[in-house]
């Protein structure tokens, strides 16, 4: 009898724990959205931020976030793809592979503030890039590489060996098999992985404070020449992102509508990140259906 | 005849392509390894400068309790470079957060894998995934607007401090620990459960005496992973901890962590100065701690294998 009571109590407690975890998430999302959504407007999403008066927006920060994300993915994706292909298709157990795997593991557990400081030391100070989009994109690349490599490697390893044997039987080289057979088959899950990592990169702030900087100079949205500093595309301008902006105004902001801007910006950040997470799997499934005609 | 022999002996186009592809992919790998080596190299050389260039003794740095690098202490004639308050602050929030998060994480994971599999997959899986996805600054904002005022009204004071940091970190590392625990529990072989139930164990006895025991190494790994994340987390903690680098004497008075001092300070110091060098030494401690967490995870993994 005693064991049965214990069982009932434990089951109840576990139900309670699971419910409270779900409640915490829902409460947090509701809190951010309820506080933030009323402040969202076209003006808020597109206007420049103001430091001393009310009525500023997050337009430039939002643009910077997306631009940095795209640049970071452009740099990190090819590297991660190459590394994952080698690890999954070519690598045989050896000392070199053990060392590299350890390196990737260590890299993935680096605190992002250390990544940011490294970027600051190398790119901002040593290479005289200053606080710039380029420095930020490279810092985000370092932050993103281990996650992306691992997720692409998992995608590749899920392709059955039958495919590789079939490729070899047709006389294809390993590389040709990878390019023409393995990669097309794993596109859906690779895309899922990339989009999920994009969500993480979009919300990252600690790695950017001292690389992409904490200021967002006014941009001239009619000038698309990347070599002009006022151009939105210029990789050499400082670029405060949305996540950095939220941190910055909460720690030292002095505008009168601070809490409104902070709430609105947090809501936008959460919505974008959730969109990434939701669409990741959908996009993967959609691609899978398109590519396999099933 | 010669033409054919030549053609056969020559490296074919696809071999060349294969070599090229292999070269490209291995160089990507080497690049990643090189970045890790570079990070360690640069942070360690800068971090050690405090001890080599500025002649600060390691024990003064690790065990000194006065952190105020820009002011020379009148008694000792040395700038305040004692990082103990920061190290303690970091360790305190990390361990407290892990202690609170662990029962919640294990409970949720058990719920998802043993008690309500369907609801677990349908409701809790997305909940955990969404929690993982929430950016750390958002946790900071929630901490600042909900947790800090709540603690202020309960305990008085500013509300900023180790307790607020702990609560924010608890929610941040909860999904990490949970999802890894779920993976471990799923890895416990099915016949363990069947044998336990067959000899008359209740479900709780099966969970407590068989499954959780079998999964202990994996759960420990999950906890250490969560702690590594908590130790390295910067902004969310910095926003709620109060940033006062004094020895923490209560959970609800302002304190500081390694990461919070780093994020606040590194932009306000001149490269190469003592004030800057000690900050790099803090970064070095962070780096070494993340290495130690990694080693601990490996050791746990190895011990779990032996069984």
- pLDDT, residue B248, reads 78
From the list A222, A78, A246, A217, the residue with the least C-alpha distance to A148 is A78
Given CA atoms A245, A246, A252, A257 in this order, what sign does their dihedral have?
positive
- pLDDT, residue B1, reads 63
Which residue in chain B has the smallest CA separation from A197? B133
**What is the nearest CA distance from A10 to chain B, expressed in angstroms?**
7
Residue numbers in chain A where pLDDT is lower than 70: 1, 293-294
Alpha-carbon span B211 to B190, nearest angstrom = 10
End-to-end Cα spacing for chain A: 54
Considering CB atoms only, which of B20, B39, B133 is closest to A277? B133
Q: What is the DSSP letter of A39?
A: G
Alpha-carbon span B173 to A78, nearest angstrom = 30
- pLDDT, residue B124, reads 87
- pLDDT, residue B75, reads 65
From the list B264, B265, B260, the residue with the least C-alpha distance to B231 is B260
From the list A195, A80, A84, A211, the residue with the least C-alpha distance to A140 is A211
Alpha-carbon span B267 to A259, nearest angstrom = 25
Contacts of A167 in chain B (CB under 8 A): none
From the list B20, B38, B294, the residue with the least C-alpha distance to A86 is B20
- pLDDT, residue A202, reads 92
Contacts of A142 in chain B (CB under 8 A): 35, 39
**What is the nearest CA distance from B255 to chain A, expressed in angstroms?**
16
A275 Cβ under 8 Å from any chain B Cβ: no
* ipTM computed for the complex: 0.89
Alpha-carbon span B259 to B234, nearest angstrom = 5
> Residue B87 corresponds to which tokens in the numbers above?
């190290």
Contacts of B137 in chain A (CB under 8 A): 203, 205, 243-244, 246-247, 250, 266, 269
Per the DSSP assignment, residues forming a β-bridge with B68 are B80
- pLDDT, residue B271, reads 78
> Residue A166 corresponds to which tokens in the numbers above?
């079939």
A111 and B290 Cβ atoms separated by less than 8 Å? yes
> Residue B65 corresponds to which tokens in the numbers above?
């309790």
Give percent helix, percent strand, percent coil of chain A, each to the nearest 5: 75, 0, 25
Contacts of B146 in chain A (CB under 8 A): 31
pTM score, two decimals? 0.89
**What is the nearest CA distance from B76 to chain A, expressed in angstroms?**
31
- pLDDT, residue B94, reads 94
Are B17 and A246 within 8 A, CB to CB?
Answer: no
Mean pLDDT of each 10-residue bin along chain B, 307 residues long: 79 85 91 93 89 82 80 69 87 94 94 87 86 90 91 86 92 93 92 92 90 91 92 89 81 86 81 84 91 90 67
**What is the nearest CA distance from B273 to chain A, expressed in angstroms?**
14
Which residue in chain B has the smallest CA separation from A110? B290
B201 and B209 Cβ atoms separated by less than 8 Å? yes
């Amino acid at each position: 009898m005693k064991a049965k009571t214990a069982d009932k109590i434990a089951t109840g407690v576990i139900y309670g724990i699971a419910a409270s975890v779900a409640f915490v998430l829902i409460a947090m999302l509701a809190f951010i959205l309820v506080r933030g959504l009323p402040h969202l407007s076209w003006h808020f999403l597109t206007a420049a931020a103001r430091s001393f008066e009310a009525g500023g927006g997050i337009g430039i920060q939002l643009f910077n976030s997306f631009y940095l994300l795209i640049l970071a993915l452009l740099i990190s994706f090819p590297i991660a793809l190459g590394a994952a292909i080698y690890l999954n298709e070519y690598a045989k157990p050896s000392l070199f592979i053990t060392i590299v795997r350890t390196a990737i593991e260590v890299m993935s557990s680096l605190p992002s503030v250390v990544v940011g400081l490294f970027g600051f030391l190398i790119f901002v100070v040593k290479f005289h890039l200053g606080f710039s989009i380029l420095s930020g994109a490279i810092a985000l690349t370092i932050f993103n590489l281990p996650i992306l490599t691992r997720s692409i490697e998992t995608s590749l390893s899920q392709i059955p060996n039958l495919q590789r044997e079939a490729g070899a039987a047709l006389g294809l080289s390993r590389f040709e098999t990878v390019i023409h057979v393995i990669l097309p088959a794993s596109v859906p899950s690779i895309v899922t992985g990339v989009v999920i990592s994009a969500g993480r990169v979009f919300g990252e702030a600690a790695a950017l404070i001292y690389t992409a900087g904490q200021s967002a100079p006014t941009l001239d949205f009619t000038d698309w020449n990347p070599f002009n500093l006022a151009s939105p595309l210029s990789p050499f301008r400082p670029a405060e992102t949305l996540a950095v902006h939220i941190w910055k105004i909460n720690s030292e902001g002095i505008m009168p509508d601070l809490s409104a801007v902070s709430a609105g910006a947090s809501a936008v950040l959460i919505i974008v990140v959730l969109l990434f997470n939701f669409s990741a799997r959908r996009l993967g499934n959609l691609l899978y259906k398109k590519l396999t005609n099933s | 005849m010669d033409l054919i022999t030549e053609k056969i002996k020559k490296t074919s186009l696809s071999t060349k392509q294969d070599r090229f592809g292999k070269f490209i992919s291995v160089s990507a790998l080497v690049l990643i390894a090189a970045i890790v080596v570079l990070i360690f190299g640069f942070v360690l050389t800068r971090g050690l400068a405090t001890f080599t260039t500025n002649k600060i003794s390691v024990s003064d740095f690790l065990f000194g309790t006065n952190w105020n690098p820009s002011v020379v202490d009148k008694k000792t004639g040395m700038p305040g470079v004692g990082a103990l308050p920061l190290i303690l602050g970091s360790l305190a929030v990390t361990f407290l957060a892990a202690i609170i998060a662990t029962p919640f994480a294990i409970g949720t994971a058990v719920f998802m894998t043993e008690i309500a599999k369907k609801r677990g997959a349908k409701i809790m899986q997305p909940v955990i995934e969404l929690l993982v996805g929430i950016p750390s600054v958002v946790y900071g904002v929630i901490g600042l607007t909900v947790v800090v005022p709540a603690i202020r009204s309960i305990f008085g004071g500013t509300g900023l401090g180790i307790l607020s940091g702990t609560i924010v970190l608890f929610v941040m590392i909860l999904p990490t620990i949970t999802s890894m625990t779920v993976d471990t529990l799923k890895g416990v072989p099915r016949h363990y459960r069947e044998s336990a139930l067959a000899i008359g164990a209740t479900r709780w006895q099966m969970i407590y005496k068989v499954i959780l025991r079998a999964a202990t190494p994996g759960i420990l790994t999950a906890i250490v992973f969560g702690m590594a994340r908590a130790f390295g987390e910067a902004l969310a903690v910095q926003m709620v901890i109060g940033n006062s680098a004094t020895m923490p004497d209560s959970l609800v008075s302002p304190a500081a962590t390694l990461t919070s001092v780093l994020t606040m300070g590194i932009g306000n110091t001149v490269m190469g100065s003592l004030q800057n060098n000690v900050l790099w030494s803090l970064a070095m401690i962070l780096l070494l701690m993340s290495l130690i967490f990694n080693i601990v995870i490996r050791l746990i993994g190895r011990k779990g294998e032996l069984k």
